[in-house]
Copies of this chain bind each other. A is one copy, B any other.
Amino acid sequence: MDDHKGRHATIVDVAQAANVSVATAGRALGDYGYVRPETKKAVLSAARELNYKKNIAARALISGSAQTFGMIVSDLSSEFYSNIIKSAVNYSRMHGYCVLIYDTHESTAIEREAVAIFQKHRVDGIIIAPASMRNVGHLRDFVAGGGRIVQIDRRVPGLASDSVTLDNVGTAAACTMKLLAAGHRRIAYIGELDEVKPADLGRIVAEHAASARIKEGFAPSCQRLRGYLDAHRDAGVPVCPDLIGRTGHYSWEAARDATQAVLQHEPTALLTSDGLMTTGAFRAVRAAGMRIPDDISFLSFDDLEWLQLVDPPLSAAAQPCARIGEEAARILIGRARGAKEPLRPGYEHIQLSGSIVDRGSIRTIPVLA
């Protein structure tokens, strides 16, 4: 217990105390190579005595790995991301990895800084939900320098990285089909859609050319729009552009306002593009004094906890947050383990699908003869 005033005991101290060489001490402590059991025992007890803690920095200097991942999200405190982080952190922990966290508030500048810091820390990989689909030079540089990235939620096309995303098109289509099957013909969609110019929106809808125009490389809200349009096309139901609410930026206030505008055009159902949009849309519906599902049906993309607490509870397409985090960590661990090989040529692109939880916020409209 004789701590040298806060200075940590080193492997040399332990070796001396156990009357062995540093190499032997290293073998005993590191659990590798040949060490006589008794010797090992002596070393370990000396280590305990001195309160010895391995210095990861020194190890990292040699091995090049500090057994650490970096994780970058745009909003750490959102229910969606915090759940993903939780599972990624836990999975990593169980496999001996720590996680450094960064919150960018959707700022590319901070994201760039995060990547730079992580490079200095020589992280074994980065899990990131890119803030922008276009401004990704720092990410390209990172992978060019040998860094490993797993993208989550969003996927930048052409970026040499693995990814774990949702089948946005398919899940949104399933949501839309559910509403269509319930007899709805005027389904509103509220999303950020900042990549779709308002001027183009009408044309895209009119042509039902979603598949051609909204390709990979768009943010989730756009891909989900595509699912919405695809479902309409497949069902032979025309889409009214006025029912598509575009916030342009990411805030619930904007979603509320967009919804308010869309409600003027008498939709019978509302589909949101994610949790924040749900919050805004729900407020707008409430403010308008409309009742769910009698006056309007509601289907939320993202299953937030409070959806079960309002009256009536709201139906939702739930994303498998825990799996997203786990898969991302799993991929990174796999790559870190097999880092000796020159890096496999291909990348994993895992697409999970959302599951619709029906809580009764969707009204079935009787078919008019």
Contact = CB atoms under 8 A, between A and B. Distances in A.
A8 B282 CA distance: 50
A99 interface: yes
A118 to B, nearest CB: 8
A120 interface: yes
Given A76-B89, A102-B89, A122 B5 contact: no
A106 interface: no
A77 B66 contact: no
Report the copy number of this chain in the oligomer. Answer: 2
A353 to B, nearest CB: 22
Contacts of A101: 85, 89, 99-101
Most buried by B among A3, A58, A121: A121
Interface string A1-37: 1010111100000000000000000000000000000
B103 A100 contact: no
A53 B89 contact: no
Interface stretch (A160-168, A220-228, A304-312): A304-312
Highest count of chain B CB atoms <10 Å: which of A7, A79, A93, A113: A93
Nearest to A76: B86
Contact of A61 (B55, B75, B77): B55
Contact of A145 (B51, B77, B82, B141): B51
Interface of A: 1, 3, 5-8, 51, 53-58, 60-61, 66, 68, 75-77, 79, 82-83, 85-86, 89-90, 93, 98-103, 110, 113, 116-117, 119-122, 141, 144-146, 279, 282-283, 286, 304-306, 309-311, 342-343
A329 to B, nearest CB: 13
Contacts of A116: 53
B98 A98 contact: no
A102 B183 CA distance: 48
Contact of A141 (B6, B51, B309): B51
Most buried by B among A53, A61, A77: A77
A279 B145 CA distance: 47
Given A90-B103, A121-B98, A146-B3, A279 B309 contact: yes
A102 B93 CA distance: 8
A146 B5 contact: yes
A68 B121 CA distance: 10
B146 A7 contact: yes
Contacts of A68: 100, 121
23 contacts: A3-B146, A6-B343, A8-B122, A8-B146, A53-B116, A56-B57, A57-B58, A57-B60, A68-B100, A68-B121, A77-B82, A77-B85, A77-B86, A82-B82, A85-B101, A89-B102, A98-B102, A98-B117, A98-B121, A101-B101, A283-B309, A306-B306, A310-B311
